[in-house]
Amino acid sequence: MTTISTIDRPRLTLWLCFAVAVLDGYDLQAMAIAGPALRAAMQLDPRQLGFAFSASLIGLALGAAYGGRLADRIGRKQVLIVSLLALGMMTVATALATDFRWLVTLRILAGLAMGGVMPNLIAIAASASRGERATTKVAAMICGMPAGGVVASMVGHALIARYGWQGLFVLGGVLTVVIIPALLRWLAEPGAEQLGLTAARTAAASWRESLFGERRALPTLLLWVLFIFTLAIFSTVAGWVPTLVVDKGLPAAVGYQSLLAINVGGIAGALILSSSCDRWGVRPVMLATYAAMAISLWLFSSAATIGAVVSLAGLVGFWMLGAQCALYGISPQIYPAANCSTGVGSAVAAGRIGSILGPVIAGYMMGQGTTANQLIFIMAPLAVLAGAVLLALAASTGNALRAGAH
C-alpha cells in the first residue's frame, strides 16, 4: 500500500509548495474582499483604503529582495518556514486591528513575511523539478496563487456575513500556521553540495556577484523590467475592472464575475503556456503570449455586453496571468542553483514595484479624466513593449531560454 513515506519526495515537495501558494493567494485576495466591510468599520476614505490595499505589496517587495538572499545563505527551507510562521501570525493579528494605522502596519509586516515565502517557493520547486519540464512545474505550483484568490472569492462573502471581516483573516492565518508541521516533515531541500557549491562559497557570494556576475547584469535588469511591466498590467487591469464594468453601464456584480474569470483563465494560461515553453522554447511562446495579451486587452476595453465582458476577461486572464506564472518558471533558469533564491527574489521584488506603481499611475490618469476603457486600452501597447523586452532577454541569455526542454 502506498504511504506518504513512499511517495516520490520531489513530487510531494511540489504539492506542498502548491498548498503554500494557495494560502499566499488567499491572503493577497482577502484584503480586496474585506475592503467594503473594512471601509465601513473603520470609516476609511478611498485614499486610505487604497493605501491599505497596497501595504502588503510594499512589504512583499522589501521582503522578497532580502528573503531570497538570506535563504541562499542560511537555507531556503528554514527561511520559508520562519516566514510562513510570521505571515500566519500577522494575518491573524490583522483581525485585531481597530484603526487605519494598525491595519496598514500589520499588512506591511504580513507582506514582509510573504516576501520571504515567494522566492523560496519558486527556488525549492525549481530544485524539486530536477531539470525536467522545470517551467511547467514551477508555473503549475504558482497557479496556487490565483487558485487561492478563487477560494477567497468563493468563501469570503459568507465568512464576512457570519463572522465579520475578521473571520477572513483568522481563517487564512490559522491555515498558514497549520501547514508548517507538514513542511518540516516532508519538504525537500537540496544541500549545498547538490547545488554544486560548498556552504562557504555560497555564503561568500555577494549580492552583486549573484545577480550581476558572470555576464548576468543585462539579463537581470531585463528580467526586472519584464516583471515590472507584466505585474503593472495585471494590477492595473484587476484593480480597475469593477470601475470598467460600471462605466459600461453593466451591473456591478459583473465586475466580480470578471475578476473570477481572470483568475480562472489565468490558471489555465499558466499551465498551457508554461508547458508550451518547455516544449517549444521560451522565446516563441512568450512573444506570441504578449502579442495575444495586447489584442485581448484591446478587445476587452471595447466589449459592451455582459457575455463579452466576462468572456474576454477570462481571455485576458489567460494571457496576462499565464505570462506572469510562466515568468516565475523561467526566472530560475537564468541563475546558478546556489544563487537562485537571490535572483528570483530580486525579480519578485521588481514585479511588486510594478504592482504598486501601476494602480498609482492609473489613479492619477483617472483623476485627469482618463476613462477606465481608455486605461485598459493603454495597457495594450505596454504588453507589446513587454514582448520586446522578452526578446532582448532571450537574446542576452544565449541558449538558456531557447531550448524547448529544461
How confident is the prediction along the chain (406 residues), in pLDDT tens digits per residue?
A: 445 544 577 888 889 999 999 998 898 888 877 887 888 889 887 678 777 877 888 888 888 878 777 877 778 888 899 999 999 999 999 999 999 999 999 999 999 999 889 888 888 887 887 656 777 888 888 888 888 888 887 888 788 889 999 999 999 999 999 999 999 988 876 554 444 444 444 444 566 777 777 788 898 999 999 999 999 998 888 777 777 787 778 887 787 788 888 888 988 998 899 888 888 888 899 999 999 999 999 999 888 888 999 999 999 999 998 898 888 888 888 887 777 778 888 888 888 888 888 877 877 787 788 787 888 888 999 999 999 999 899 888 866 565 444 4
- Give residue 335's pLDDT: 81
Would you list the DSSP string of 108-138?
A: HHHHHHHHHHHHHHHHHHHHHHTTSSHHHHH
Q: Is residue 232 part of a domain?
A: yes
- Give residue 287's pLDDT: 92
Half-sphere exposure of residue 64: CA atoms within 13 angstroms, side-chain side: 26
C-alpha cell at 404: 524547448
**DSSP-derived 3-state class of residue 281:** coil
CATH number where 19 lies: 1.20.1250.20
**CA torsion, points 260, 261, 265, 267, in degrees to nearest 10?**
10
Check: CB of residue 236 under 8 Å from CB of residue 359: yes
Q: What is the pTM of this model?
A: 0.79
**DSSP-derived 3-state class of residue 189:** coil
Q: Is residue 110 part of a domain?
A: yes
Can you tell me which residue has the cell 545577480? 211
Half-sphere exposure of residue 52: CA atoms within 13 angstroms, side-chain side: 26
Q: Is residue 405 part of a domain?
A: no
- Give residue 157's pLDDT: 77
User: How far apart are the C-alpha atoms of 120 and 37, rounded to whole Å?
Assistant: 33
Can you tell me which residue has the cell 464594468? 245
Q: Is residue 402 part of a domain?
A: no
Q: Is residue 404 part of a domain?
A: no
Q: Is residue 157 part of a domain?
A: yes
Taking the alpha carbons at both ends of the chain, their separation in whole angstroms is 33
User: How far apart are the C-alpha atoms of 113 and 101, rounded to whole Å?
Assistant: 19
- Please give the residue range of the domain that contains residue 99: 4-396
Three-point CA angle 286, 287, 293, nearest 5°: 85
Can you tell me which residue has the cell 504592482? 355
Cα–Cα distance list, 54 to 57, 107, 316, 360, 380 (Å): 5, 9, 23, 10, 24
Number of domains in the chain: 1
With a CB cutoff of 8 Å and minimum separation 6, the contacts of 261 are: 310, 311, 313, 314, 317
Written as one letter, the residue type at 140 is A
Can you tell me which residue has the cell 558572470? 214
C-alpha cell at 159: 465568512
Backbone dihedral region for residue 371 (phi beyond 0: left; psi -120 to 50: alpha; all else: beta): beta
Q: Is residue 401 part of a domain?
A: no
